[in-house]
């Protein structure tokens, strides 16, 4: 029996069957159909799906009236281990709670620990799903409330060098 097992390449045949099955499947479905079998992603052209708890860049939120939710309690600034958040308290007409006149976030030192979001009692900041954070200049990592690339409310001030579809206007919303 053992001689027969050595003579007949059953294990080789079963291995060939398995790889042949995978080849057939991928060969027939490789045409970028809606349901593709291959596990790799053609990243720059096709948007990739991100896990819901992915910790991307810090982003401020607004409420339904378009008002900044932040009330300058400074909890995030205090808890931040690397001290990348700087907040200036201010006043605004017709608003009872304090208003941040300055909210600076220096991303080059951020460790994306999400303590700031957890400490926030007003759900006014989140870590969004933006992952293309590379930039050519150090200044691009200093993100705040003012200026063209200083927007804490939008996705991608530093992702401007991305060639993926997330940089295009109809990009998927990473803030979900």
Partner 1 sequence: MMTPVQQVVMAVIQITVLISIILLIVPVMTFAERKVIGYIQVRLGATRQAGGIRGFAAGINKLSWAMGRIPILSFFRGLPVFAADGLKLLLKEDIVPDRADRFVFVIAPVVCMIPAFATFAVICFYPGTLFVFPDQFPIVGGLPFTGFLTDINVGLLYIMAVGSIGVYGIVLGGWASNSKYPLLGGLRSAAQIISYEIPLSLSLLAAVVLSGTLNFRELSVYLAGVPTVTAAGDVVQMPLIAAVPLFFGFFFYLTCGFAETNRVPFDLAEAETELVSGFHTEYTGMKFAWFMLAEYANMMAVSAIAAGFFLGGHYLLPFGLQRFVPDGIPFLAEPSLLFFFGKVFFLLFVFLWVRATLPRYRYDQLMSVGWKWLIPVTLINLLIAAAIRFAF
Other C-beta atoms closer than 10 Å to the C-beta of 130 total 22
**Closest CB 24 distance from partner 1, rounded Å:** 8
The verdict on 1 binding partner 1 (CB under 8 A) reads no
**Closest CB 139 distance from partner 1, rounded Å:** 21
The verdict on 168 binding partner 1 (CB under 8 A) reads no
CA-CA distances (angstroms) from residue 13 to 7, 19, 21, 118, 164? 12, 10, 12, 55, 43
- SS3 for 76? helix
Shorter beta-carbon distance to partner 1: residue 12 or 51: 12
Q: List the beta bridge partners of residue 105.
A: 85, 143
The verdict on 15 binding partner 1 (CB under 8 A) reads yes
Shorter beta-carbon distance to partner 1: residue 38 or 102: 38
**Closest CB 12 distance from partner 1, rounded Å:** 7
Which residues 28-57 are close enough to bind partner 1 by CB under 8 A?
Answer: 30-32, 37-40, 42, 45
- Interacting residues of 129 by C-beta distance below 8 A, sequence separation 6+: 50, 54, 56, 174, 175, 176
CA-CA distances (angstroms) from residue 71 to 4, 151, 173? 79, 18, 25
What kind and span of H or E run contains 34? none
Binding range to partner 1, per CB under 8 A, among 15-23, 63-71, 101-109, 143-151: 15-23
Give me the residues that bind partner 1 (CB under 8 A), please: 6-7, 12, 15-16, 18-20, 22-23, 26-27, 30-32, 37-40, 42, 45, 161, 163
């Amino acid at each position: 029996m053992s001689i027969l097992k050595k003579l007949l390449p059953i294990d080789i045949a079963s291995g060939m069957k398995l790889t042949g099955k995978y080849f057939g499947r991928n060969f027939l479905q490789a045409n970028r159909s809606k349901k593709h079998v291959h596990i790799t992603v053609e990243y720059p052209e096709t948007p990739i799906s991100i896990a819901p708890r992915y910790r991307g860049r810090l982003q401020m939120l607004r409420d339904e009236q378009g008002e900044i939710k932040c009330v300058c309690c400074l909890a995030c600034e205090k808890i931040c281990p690397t001290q990348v958040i700087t907040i200036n308290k201010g006043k605004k007409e017709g608003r009872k709670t304090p208003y941040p006149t300055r909210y600076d976030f220096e991303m080059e030192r951020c460790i994306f620990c999400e303590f700031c979001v957890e400490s926030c009692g007003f759900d006014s900041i989140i870590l969004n799903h933006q992952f293309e954070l590379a930039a050519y200049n150090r200044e691009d990592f200093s993100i705040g409330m003012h200026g063209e690339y200083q927007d804490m409310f939008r996705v991608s001030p530093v992702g401007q060098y991305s060639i993926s579809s997330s940089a295009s206007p109809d990009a998927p919303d990473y803030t979900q």
